[in-house]
Structure 1
Amino acid sequence: METTQSMQKRELRTTEKKGISVRDFILIGVLLAAGAVLKYFVGSVINIGGVKPNFIIAMYCLGILLIKPKIYEGAAIGLLAGAVCQFFPGTPYLNFLSEFAGAVVMTLMIRLVINIGKINLTPAIATFVSTVVSGALFVSFLIIFLNASASMLVAYIPIVLGTAVINTIIVQVLYVPLKLAMKQD
């Protein structure tokens, strides 16, 4: 007597993410709100020679790392971050441009995989570069649009780089626990 076995084909179905989910949108909103609260209450306390964290940039970098948006979605996150910055005293409207650029750079850089051994350095390097881009553009816009002196650029270089280092530490420290809490790979 002969036995016949029938095997079914396995299918791998993939679905493409279509837009930011409600969960992702809420996460970005909570992170930006937390960044605003931290900037308001803690930002002036942590000040080392004029260098302090920019919690709003750190939070949108963290959010982009966690939800991995498409480029236009990352740009929208940057515009939202720029809108949040308008609630703080300073230079109105310049943050829309600088945060837009910083978020787009972050969105592009998370597509790179930068590892040393088993350590994923993408969050740190992407956050550092995004913060530098945002800060450099902000200072450049001050000079261009508000006729600030070009010597201001030299004064701001260490501040931008210091802020980038602090933001990098914040994001690198928070990324892994949040990723695990969200049950991501």
Structure 2
Amino acid sequence: MNTEEKTQVTMVEGTGGKYRWIAMTALFLAIGTILRLVSPSVAGVSPNWTIAMYCLVMILVRPAIPQAIGIGLVAGAIGVVSSKSIFPYANLLSEVLGAVVCAALVRSGIRFQLGKFNLQPAVLGLLTTLASGMTFVTATKLALELPMQMYLYGMIPVVLTVAAINTVITQMLYFPAHKIFAQKGEE
């Protein structure tokens, strides 16, 4: 006598389930980590792929602020182990702040467009990288008691350069990511 109940799973095309954001976050952060590890530095500067990737996640899944804090903590922990910095622990603070800034901007509903062209990825990549990067270099300066000249003329220019690079990268990666991962019914 077979007493097993049969379970029916119904898949609705284009939804992905309640925890889709977790899977997407894990995928994008893994890609960002790999790219961060293999990207060469040019004059000590390389893109912050982690920030670009979690910006894309924020745009695609629109997480709540507590979820963004979790994303930032994971990104920060990844940054601690994959950073080329002299003070990698600053990633724990800077990535949380960057993720919260990004999520808050996404959830604010502010549109960044040039005509019909969506500039939200570029603007979020720029602002998030600036928030995270400035937090990172300021925490590093304070923790290691670095001279102000090093902070002003060595660290801040790197943040500005990485922010410019991330602006372009986030915008370029948005269109294929949106095409692959956006839910049906989105614009």
Q: Deviations over 1:143-174 (max 9, x none)?
A: 11221122122111221111111111111111
The runs of 5 or more residues in structure 1 that have no matched partner are 1-19
* Unaligned 5+ runs, structure 2: 1-16
Structure 1 length as normaliser, TM-score?
0.82
AA aligned to 1:27 is: M
Look up the match of 1:34.
31
Match 1:86 to one of 66, 77, 80: 80
For 2:35 and 2:57, the matched residues in 1 are separated by 16
TM-score (norm. length: structure 2):
0.81
Change (3 A) 1:183 1:61: closer
User: Shift in Å at residue 140 of structure 1?
Assistant: 0.5
Question: Percent sequence identity over matched residues?
Answer: 37
Residues 66, 183 of structure 1: alpha-carbon distance in 2 compared, 3 angstrom cutoff:
closer
Query: 1:151 matched to which residue of 2?
Result: 149
User: What is the alpha-carbon distance in structure 2 between the residues aligned to residue 99 and residue 160 of structure 1?
Assistant: 14
CA distance in 1: counterparts of 2:156 and 2:142, whole angstroms: 16
Letter in 2 for 1:60: Y
Counterpart selection for 2:103 from 102, 107, 112? 107
2:158 paired with 1:164: no
Aligned equivalents of 2:142, 2:172: Cα separation in 1: 36
Counterpart of 1:128 in structure 2 is 126
> 1:98 maps to which residue?
94
Matched, 1:57 2:56: no
What is the Cα deviation at residue 118 of structure 1?
0.3
For the aligned residues, what is the CA RMSD?
Answer: 1.6
The residue identity in structure 2 corresponding to 1:97 is L
Counterpart CA distance in 1 for 2:35 and 2:125 is 18
- Larger Rg belongs to: 1
Partner Cα separation in structure 2 for residue 182 and residue 37 of structure 1: 20
Paired residues, number: 163
Query: SS state of the match for residue 24, structure 2?
Result: helix
Residues 36/21 of structure 1: CA separation in 2 closer, same or farther (3 Å cut): same
